[in-house]
Structure formats: structure tokens, C-alpha cells
Chains A and B, each alone.
Chain A
Amino acid sequence: MATETKTTPTEEAKIDLFEDDDEFEEFEINEEWKDKEEGKEVEQWEDDWDDDDVNDDFSLQLKRELENNSEKK
């Protein structure tokens, strides 16, 4: 078996430079492959979120802030 050599902290850091955290995993040649079923896709993305609703907590707090300050005048 290949023996692991001990590394000091600075050497670890150097090795660290030669890393890609997001290296794609190899697909095996005959690996069991599942396609996403057409039409059965649950929505993954929203593009209609930018509405005019200001009843959420943040908007209500914002409203209070703006009203408070103008009253202080």
C-alpha cells in the first residue's frame, strides 16, 4: 500500500493550493443512470417573486421605521 508521509503545516498549505474543491466526480462507464423524468419536474426556480406585496415582516418593520422618523419631526 502506498505509505502516507507526514506533512508539516506549511507543506499542508502548499498542497492545499493544488486543490479544486469542486472536482466533478467521475461517471463510471456502465453506472446506473437515472434521467430526470420529463414533465414530472417540480419547479426548481421562481421568476415571479418580485411582487408588490409589503405584508411580510421585513416590510412591516420598514414601514414602522419610516413612520416613526417622520413623526419625530
Chain B
Amino acid sequence: MAYVSMGEAHRRITDYLNRFSDAVSSQDGTSLKLLLSLSSNSPSLLSLADALNVFQDATRLVNQSERFSQLGDIVLPLFRALQNYRLGNLTDAYQAFEKSANFFIQEFRNWDSAWALEALYVVAYEIRVLAERADRDLASNGKSPEKLKAAGSFLMKVFGVLAGKGPKRVGALYVTCQLFKVYFKLGTVHLCRSVIRSIETARIFEFEEFPKRDKVTYMYYTGRLEVFNENFPAADQKLSYALKHCNAYSEANIRMILKYLIPVKLSIGILPKNWLLEKYNLVEYRNIVEALRRGDLRLLRHALQEHEDRFLRSGVYLVLEKLELQVYQRLIKKIYIIQKQKDPAKAHQLKLEIIVKALKWLEMDMDLDEVECIVAILIHKNLVKGYFAHKSKVVVLSKQDPFPKLNGKPVMS
């Protein structure tokens, strides 16, 4: 902690208060937001924190000036938040910031035009980030982490303030995305539903009017939710939107979109090109793609095992596991084509025991009954067109298109 003289401390605090007051009276959102970014660790805010910790009587300073006292409700808890943050008291920092933020949004409501939206975004962001740090701190001290949950409630309140007819409503999507980040972190993704419903059905919101960066973020998270719910056509649409409109410089975000989009594409029979996997370092999918391309069930199993932890953490494991049926289809199709080369007349009468042999080669020990079961499932899901001649343990394949392509639709459930 740097040494600050009382005089210097007084100067710094007054300087900040002047800048705050000027920003509000001249409706300068860009200047105001810099004064609220606690977690940015900007030199000016850190030096202000040092000054506050030395001066210790900011309350009197604020209240003795008519100009400053008007902002007292917002600024005094903000000062406490900054002091606590500087001292590493992260829970107290969050608490004080939330108090300040509460008064801020009350004032925000009264300000006409959307001049302070940028500052509001910063408040929303800081609420989340300070809550996360407070919770990490609480957890590491063996206490129950509850600040992020509180931040979620607060952000819902902010959303409510923005959900009106005026120009402030374009800020609602940014706040929505902060809420998504909170809920995903807490694992309470079901809570996303009500805010999604507001965005997508309320008449005051026109989706195209929202800023691009918020639309991209929104489609990423709602796309992920569709993946969890196994609505693959919807997931494809949303994640593809996010991919198409994402900042091309933002490689980390593009990678995240692809991480979820690739399993979706695979489920509808579309493969990513190799350069895509290489460029964005998604090599965990390489063998899965190759397994589909080949019809190699052994490779699929191996690929799922090798990256099991990663796939489980991102929640795509089950999606990938279900690709097994498509790999079976590809394998049986290859067997059919190979048989057709040897004996074109009889190829469409495929003996189940040949499939058993192929599976044995792929280290899958299945008897005739089990194979019959798998083929029955493939027929049921329209991955194979044909019927059984039971006594001869043969599947009679349709002469026309016996292995229908998915054509961009997922396998029937």
C-alpha cells in the first residue's frame, strides 16, 4: 500500500467527486463508466482506494458539499466497496457495491435518454464479477457462497428497469447475457427460461435492434441450451448465427461456438472440414469425425474414451455417443458395397453373420440376435431401408436408397 499524505488523499477524493458530478451533469456515459470499473484495477481507482483508506472520513467530505451530497447515496457505498476491494475484503466489497448499484439504478430510471447505458453495463458486469470473487473467497474460507445468486437477483431487477418502451431497452440484451453467465456458472440454467421468454416474446423488443455483440453472445448461450435439450435443428440455427456474426478476431469465442456446434452438425450428418478443427484447436473431435467417415465403431469408442472427461464437462458426451447409430449405418453400407462388388445380384440380401464378422474385427463381440436387434433399430429409425427374412437370418435391403442420408435432419428419436 503506497504512502499518501492527507492533503494528497483529500485532493484525489475531491478530484473523483468532481469528475463524477461533471459526468452526470453533462450526461457523459463514457466518462462515468470509468469511475465505476472497480475490477479493472485502473491506476486511478487504485490510487483513489489508497487515498480513501488514509483519509477515512469521506462521508463528511461528501455531505458538506451540496453538489456532492446529491450523489452521496451512490458514491459513499461505492467508496466503501473500493476500499474493501483494495484490502482484499471481497465479500464486503460486493455488499457495498450492490448497495451503491441499487441507488445507481434508481437514479438511472429518472435520467431520460439512454446516455448512461454504457455506465449501466459496467455496473452489471461489476456486480457479476465482484460476486464471483466474493464467492470464491467465501468458499475458500469454508463458508457458503451466496453472492453470485444475489447478483442474479439484482440483475433481474436491472432487466426490469430496461424492459420498457424507451431507448434504454436496447440494453436489455446485455443484461440478459450477464444473467446467462451467472446462471451457467451456478448451474441453474433453468432460470434462463423466463428472461429468454421476455426477450423473445415481449412486443417492446425487436431482436434485430440489439447491438451485434449482444446478439452473438445471446445466440451462443441459447444455442448451448438447445444442445442440452437435444433440439438439434434449433441449436444448429442459433450456434450458426453466433458463428457467422462473431468478431472474426475473437478466436477464443469462435472456438467455444464450434465446440458446441460440431456435435450438433455431426448429429445431422454434416462433417467439419479438417482445417476448422486444426485452426481452432478442436482436435478432440478429429477421431470422432474420422469414425463417422469410415464407419469405424472401434475408433468411435476409442475417441469417446480418450476425451471422456472433456466431453462430460461440456455436456456433449451423450450427443456424441448417440452418433453410434450413424456409424453403424456407414459400416453396414460399406459391407453392402463390398458385397455388391463381389456378387451384384445377391448383395441386397445381406447375411447378418457377415455383420457379426465385421464387428468382431472391430473388437465388438455380438451374437446374431444382438446384431438383429441393432439392425431392427436402424430400420425403425430409417437409417436402413429393408426387412428381415428371419429364418435365414438375412436383412433384405431395399433396392432403392437402402441407406437414406440424414439431409440435415437429426436421427428420429
A49 to B245, CA, bound (A): 27
The answer to whether A62 and B334 touch (CB under 8 A), given A11-B142, A27-B217, is yes
The answer to whether A52 and B337 touch (CB under 8 A), given A24-B220, A24-B221, is yes
> Which of A22, A49, A50 sits near B256, CB closer than 8 Å?
A22
CB closest residue in chain B, given A29: B118
Q: Are A65 and B337 in contact (CB under 8 A)?
A: no
**Contact code string B124-162 (vs A, CB < 8 Å = 1, else 0):** 010000001101110111100100100000000000000
CB closest residue in chain B, given A26: B125
Whether, in the assembled complex, B380 has its beta carbon less than 8 Å from a beta carbon of chain A, the answer is no
**Contact code string B35-48 (vs A, CB < 8 Å = 1, else 0):** 00000010000000
Q: Are B88 and A2 in contact (CB under 8 A)?
A: yes
CB closest residue in chain B, given A33: B247
Interface size class of B (residues with CB under 8 A): 35 or more
Contacts of A22 in B (CB 8 A): 224, 256, 259-260, 314
* Interface of chain B: mostly helix, strand, loop or mixed: helix
CB closest residue in chain B, given A6: B140
> Which of B148, B221, B253, B294 sits near A56, CB closer than 8 Å?
B294
A57 to B329, CA, bound (A): 18
Contacts of B341 in A (CB 8 A): 54
Q: Are A2 and B85 in contact (CB under 8 A)?
A: yes
A12 to B293, CA, bound (A): 41
A72 to B145, CA, bound (A): 67
The answer to whether A31 and B334 touch (CB under 8 A), given A45-B271, A58-B295, is no
Give the contacts of B163-186 with A (CB-CB under 8 A).
Answer: 177, 181, 184-186
A31 to B294, CA, bound (A): 43
Q: Are A45 and B270 in contact (CB under 8 A)?
A: yes
The answer to whether A5 and B271 touch (CB under 8 A), given A33-B212, A45-B265, A66-B338, is no
**Contact code string A31-62 (vs B, CB < 8 Å = 1, else 0):** 11111100000111111011010101011001
Whether, in the assembled complex, B405 has its beta carbon less than 8 Å from a beta carbon of chain A, the answer is yes
Q: Are A18 and B253 in contact (CB under 8 A)?
A: no
> Which of B90, B142, B253 sits near A2, CB closer than 8 Å?
B90
A28 to B330, CA, bound (A): 46
A6 to B341, CA, bound (A): 68
Whether, in the assembled complex, B3 has its beta carbon less than 8 Å from a beta carbon of chain A, the answer is no
Q: Are A45 and B248 in contact (CB under 8 A)?
A: no
For the complex of A and B, 8 pairs with smallest distance between CB atoms = A27-B213, A34-B248, A3-B88, A58-B294, A20-B184, A2-B88, A65-B361, A7-B140
| A→B interface (CB under 8 Å) | 1-3, 5-7, 11, 14-15, 17-27, 29, 31-36, 42-47, 49-50, 52, 54, 56, 58-59, 62-63, 65-66, 69
| Beyond A18-B187, A45-B272, A65-B361, 20 extra complex contacts between A and B, CB < 8 Å | A2-B88, A6-B140, A11-B139, A11-B142, A15-B139, A17-B187, A18-B145, A20-B185, A21-B314, A22-B224, A22-B314, A23-B181, A44-B272, A46-B272, A49-B271, A50-B333, A52-B337, A54-B337, A62-B361, A66-B339
23 contacts between A and B (CB under 8 A): A1-B88, A2-B88, A11-B142, A14-B139, A18-B148, A18-B185, A19-B185, A22-B256, A24-B181, A25-B253, A29-B118, A29-B121, A31-B213, A33-B212, A34-B248, A35-B245, A45-B270, A45-B271, A46-B273, A58-B295, A62-B334, A65-B357, A65-B358
